[in-house]
Amino acid sequence: MSGRTLTFRIFRYDPQQAGDKPQMVDYQLQETPGMTVFIALNHLREEQDPSLQFDFVCRAGICGSCAMVINGFPTLACRTLTAKYPDGLITLMPLPGFELIGDLSVNTGKFMRELAERLKLWLHPKPDQQDIHHLEAPMDPEEAARLYELERCVECGVCVSACATKQMRDTFVGAVGMMKIARFELDSRDARSAEDFYHVIGNQDGVFGCMTLLGCQDNCPKDLPHMQQIAYLRRKMASTLL
């Protein structure tokens, strides 16, 4: 399908500009082989409209910066081929659930920072490991592999935007918060117990608020096991009540 003319229908709105109003603006662009939505956006900004706002860093699906809603589904622009859309019409919207910076750019960093502070998403070392001169014991390879699987999260915000519960209740921590909690719950070096984690996510804003609609699982660009970890945490949190 190379050589066809694509139509990009893009959400435009700059909240910092007085009097600006949200609108959808159409752009036409010639498709090239292997073109991604990210490549197309760069062409549009360089050749047609330098005021177009969107984010990117790595261009390789490992930074999560270019996440947006493409034809109704939240995903990464750098991993989405334009050839995926046979009619050549591609509608782009910013991720819902985040503070809008402008056009397709949202402030996921602010959300992730506030989430980390709220859930205390850092390693809480055991008393005998707080000495900086203490020699850390080797980690079991199987445990390291489990932790690495959960560390693959790039904080793109796709799971947050795909979550119906999060859109209805702003205080819900979302799959990304529970994924990070599971990472520390599984870490043998962390001093916190299941009871400690229960006080953080053992409520309707945490694991018991998830409606299991699989939006996070279905849309995660890194194919992370969100529902598996949420189910694991539910069992752990429920066991603290027995």
Question: pLDDT of 57-106, one tens digit each?
Answer: 988 889 999 999 999 999 999 999 999 999 999 999 999 999 999 999 99
Contact (Cβ atoms closer than 8 angstroms) between residue 83 and residue 56: no
Statement: residue 217 has pLDDT above 90:
yes
pLDDT digits (tens, 9 = 90+) for 170-209: 999 999 999 999 999 999 999 999 999 999 999 999 999 9
Distance CA 117, CA 87 (A): 44
Same domain flag for 113 and 71: no
Q: Which domain holds residue 208?
A: 107-130+137-240
DSSP-derived secondary structure letter, 137: P
| CATH label of the domain that carries residue 85 | 3.10.20.30
Same domain flag for 79 and 191: no
**61: Cα separation from own chain's centroid:** 12
Same domain flag for 80 and 115: no
142-145 — which CB contacts under 8 Å span 24+ positions? 143/186, 143/187, 143/188
Residue bearing the bigger pLDDT, 227 or 2: 227
Statement: residue 221 has pLDDT above 90:
yes
Residue bearing the bigger pLDDT, 104 or 135: 104
Same domain flag for 115 and 215: yes
- Percent of the chain surpassing pLDDT 90: 87
Contact (Cβ atoms closer than 8 angstroms) between residue 108 and residue 95: yes
Distance CA 52, CA 9 (A): 12
What integer pLDDT is reported at residue 1 of this predicted model? Answer: 44
Same domain flag for 153 and 98: no
Q: Which of 57, 58, 92, 51 is nearest to 75 (CA)?
A: 92
| CATH label of the domain that carries residue 163 | 1.10.1060.10
Q: 25: which strand partners?
A: 10
Maximum Cα–Cα distance across the chain: 64
Structural domain tally of the chain?
2
Distance CA 70, CA 56 (A): 15
Same domain flag for 184 and 71: no
Same domain flag for 89 and 125: no
